[in-house]
Structure 1
């Protein structure tokens, strides 16, 4: 099809349909939230808050992304707010307890990788067994919930949401050096918990 000079072309713009959000996206958004917060009531509340916030902004939805992506982005910001609230006030107390020299026992100073003698052992998940994977994920989730709130927030943003160090430090108001100490401490705690509870 040729377009002649002065001819106006119609561009298909995605519009949002709030009446379909619950049916189309509630289960996905709830699962997304629950995997990061592990609190069913709070997860339901955050999904509802996401729908309300999106409803208020529905006229501004430009359709440059899908509704699902747009709603997930709104939800993600709400989850970060929860992380921030959980970790505020804990930061100074935890910073006082964190001793970076303890990490030298377990990690290489130059690259932060495990030292050979402290490297985690295989957990037996090398074979593709869905039942083992499901059980392992359940234990991992329980171990993650034992982490202090700030550590859980940092670890989740880094390893589940794949946020950059800069974003995590900015959102949770931690310094870069504290961020690395928290990540290492979280890994040590998770390792110990998994080795204790995973047979």
Structure 2
């Protein structure tokens, strides 16, 4: 069977299906997966453990790999759910109750209809708008420190929404919160992150 190497990151056969090459996973994907985890967890040792756990879990699931996506995409999906498990454990002690406030008291900053900043309260320019700020290492380091200051549940919900672009329904289901509490948490996380970033980045 003829193999074709593509982008040095995965291999496909003549039918266009991606193939797995476990012996090359560490070399090809360890750094990428570690960066993915560290942007969400702020715990170097735990991130390294999760990457190792991802490789082990993937080896156990090799038979289920259909080849529709690249091995990096497949490995990242496995890691993503391990990160979500960490989120659930970290935030398990924090129920989304009244202490999170109500959406009404955030009306000064956010439009209640679309949940975005009101024009007069738009955050100041961060100085990284010329490219994706999450690709700016200095900005990402500051964002990570600010995220770390949030309550565990807030950090988990915000990361799933804005780092992983997950849908509200999925987040509510995974984190066991109501849609109303989801928006309250997102609002309060944004206010806190805005303040932290303006103090530590701008």
Normalised by the shorter chain, which TM-score bucket? 0.7 to 0.9
After superposition, what is the alpha-carbon deviation per residue over 1:154-195, rounded to whole angstroms, capped at 9, x for unaligned?
111111111111111111111101001101100000011112
Determine if the alignment matches structure 1 residue 146 to structure 2 residue 149.
yes
Within-5 A mapping of 1:80-119: 80-92=84-96, 95-100=97-102, 101-119=104-122
In the TM superposition, residue 13 of structure 1 has moved relative to its aligned partner by: 4.5
Matched-pair contact (CA < 8 Å) for 2:91–2:153: yes
TM-score, length-normalised on structure 2? 0.83
| Residues in 2 aligned to 1:14 and 1:119: alpha-carbon distance in whole angstroms | 44
Larger-Rg structure: 1
What is the DSSP-based 3-state SS (H/G/I as helix, E as strand, rest coil) of the residue aligned with 1:185?
Answer: helix
In the TM superposition, residue 112 of structure 1 has moved relative to its aligned partner by: 2.2
Which residue is equivalent to 1:6?
none
In the TM superposition, residue 11 of structure 1 has moved relative to its aligned partner by: 4.2
What is the DSSP-based 3-state SS (H/G/I as helix, E as strand, rest coil) of the residue aligned with 1:122?
Answer: coil
Q: Alignment partner for residue 46 of structure 1, among 33, 50, 59? A: 50
TM-score, length-normalised on structure 1? 0.84
| Residues in 1 aligned to 2:52 and 2:99: alpha-carbon distance in whole angstroms | 37
Within-5 A mapping of 1:1-199: 11=15, 13-92=17-96, 95-100=97-102, 101-126=104-129, 133-199=136-202
In the TM superposition, residue 106 of structure 1 has moved relative to its aligned partner by: 1.9
In the TM superposition, residue 123 of structure 1 has moved relative to its aligned partner by: 2.8
| Residues in 2 aligned to 1:24 and 1:123: alpha-carbon distance in whole angstroms | 33
| Residues in 2 aligned to 1:125 and 1:27: alpha-carbon distance in whole angstroms | 24
What is the DSSP-based 3-state SS (H/G/I as helix, E as strand, rest coil) of the residue aligned with 2:95?
Answer: helix
